[in-house]
Amino acid sequence: MPVAGHPYAGRRIGLATMHGKERALAPPFRRVLGAEIVVPVLDTDTLGTFSGEVPRPDTPVETALLKADMLFEAMPELDCALASEGSYGPIDRVPLVPGGVEFLAFVDRTRGIRHVETLSTHRTNWRLQRFAAGDPARLVALKEMGFPAFGVFVVCSSDMSRPIKGLATVEAVIDAMDREARRSVDGLAVLYSDMRAHKNPLRMSVLRAAGWKLAHRLASLCPACHAPGWGRIDSRRGLPCEACGQPTHWIDFEINGCLACSHSESRPREDGRRVAARSSCPSCRTASLCPRSGES
Ligand SMILES: [Zn+2]
Ligand SMILES: [Zn+2]
């Protein structure tokens, strides 16, 4: 049931997408807020693409906000816009495990709200591998990447500027790989995941989860100015140690704030903890590890 009397109930919210993202985002916005998602005709590829031909102007957060801003040019009658940006690939900390983050930007230009909801995930089939022409492992790799339910791109290893998209059959992918491998200086073709939402069911499901998270955030109204989006903006560390009372790195207070005005409120931890474990306390740890510290 949508929140009764919510400012966005019955309103139209623009979504900048060419990749069917309304399939993931329209249901939460309709069910939670009673708002309708509308999609304009818009060339978001001018902002850069996953396949890499157009360089990204900035970080994913900035790109997502910029895409939302662009939407107002196409639909000047709207006050609110949504846009998303995904970042997928190997994780720095765990190089062999791919992961991803979805950035879902929301702009309400009449209230001055600019908010980016993020959702990170390990649920991705992102892969990038290189193969020589005729390598039998090509077929195995293609199967592991979920093709054809999940899309793939092929590109020449020594010239990554022109990836081949729109490959619909196994034969077409294999032909493209062998052709690109033969014209590559190192004799290899690159096979990698197409992460565009309409070509990647896993990414679409992550986007759907981000959509629910954002819709619930917007459902909550600021107690001071009643703007949508009241919620956690920060936290304060320093929960006291159970033994000595010194501050630890554990979170002490969560801080809720408004996205439109400067109102904020701090509240104690949701789990009810008022003291931190002794093992997390730097003072107690130092005391037990170096019982005679301070003596020469
Ligand atoms: Zn302590
Ligand atoms: Zn407020």
The CA 252 to ligand 1 mean position distance, Å, reads: 15
On whether both 170 and 239 belong to a single domain, the answer is no
CB 36 within 8 A of CB 61: no
On whether both 119 and 136 belong to a single domain, the answer is no
| Parent domain of 181 | 128-193
Tell me what the mean pLDDT of segment 140-158 comes to. Answer: 93
The closest of 205, 221, 211 to 9, measured between CA atoms, is 221
CATH of the domain at 101: 3.90.950
The CA 106 to ligand 2 mean position distance, Å, reads: 16
Give dist(CA 84, CA 21) in Å, integer. Answer: 9
Ligand nearest to the CA of 244: 1
The CA 108 to ligand 2 mean position distance, Å, reads: 13
* Residue 271: inside a domain: yes
Q: What local confidence, expressed as pLDDT, does residue 21 receive? A: 92
Ligand nearest to the CA of 263: 2
The CA 22 to ligand 1 mean position distance, Å, reads: 51
The CA 3 to ligand 2 mean position distance, Å, reads: 18
* Residue 105: inside a domain: yes
On whether both 205 and 70 belong to a single domain, the answer is yes
Ligand nearest to the CA of 224: 2
* Residue 201: inside a domain: yes
Give dist(CA 152, CA 164) in Å, integer. Answer: 9
Assigned token pair, 289: 């590890």
On whether both 61 and 205 belong to a single domain, the answer is yes
Per-residue pLDDT reduced to its tens digit, 164-217: 998 999 999 999 999 999 999 999 999 999 888 888 888 899 999 999 999 999
CB 74 within 8 A of CB 15: no
* Residue 226: inside a domain: no
The CA 268 to ligand 1 mean position distance, Å, reads: 20
* Residue 296: inside a domain: no
Q: Tell how far CA 224 is from the center of its chain.
A: 30
* Residue 7: inside a domain: no
The CA 292 to ligand 1 mean position distance, Å, reads: 17
* Residue 93: inside a domain: yes
Tell me what the mean pLDDT of segment 269-290 comes to. Answer: 86
CATH of the domain at 142: 3.30.1490
**Sign of the CA dihedral running 208, 209, 215, 218:** negative
On whether both 24 and 99 belong to a single domain, the answer is yes
* Residue 80: inside a domain: yes
Q: What local confidence, expressed as pLDDT, does residue 190 receive? A: 95
On whether both 203 and 268 belong to a single domain, the answer is no
Ligand nearest to the CA of 242: 1
On whether both 202 and 271 belong to a single domain, the answer is no
On whether both 77 and 214 belong to a single domain, the answer is yes
The CA 105 to ligand 2 mean position distance, Å, reads: 19
The CA 243 to ligand 1 mean position distance, Å, reads: 5
On whether both 174 and 254 belong to a single domain, the answer is no
Task: State the DSSP H helix or E strand holding residue 170, giving kind and residue range, or none if neither.
Answer: helix 170-183
Count of domains for the chain: 3
On whether both 35 and 141 belong to a single domain, the answer is no
Phi-psi region of 294 (alpha: psi -120 to 50; beta: other; left: phi over 0): left
Q: What local confidence, expressed as pLDDT, does residue 198 receive? A: 85
Q: What local confidence, expressed as pLDDT, does residue 264 receive? A: 96
The CA 208 to ligand 2 mean position distance, Å, reads: 27
On whether both 206 and 69 belong to a single domain, the answer is yes
On whether both 133 and 246 belong to a single domain, the answer is no
The CA 31 to ligand 1 mean position distance, Å, reads: 48
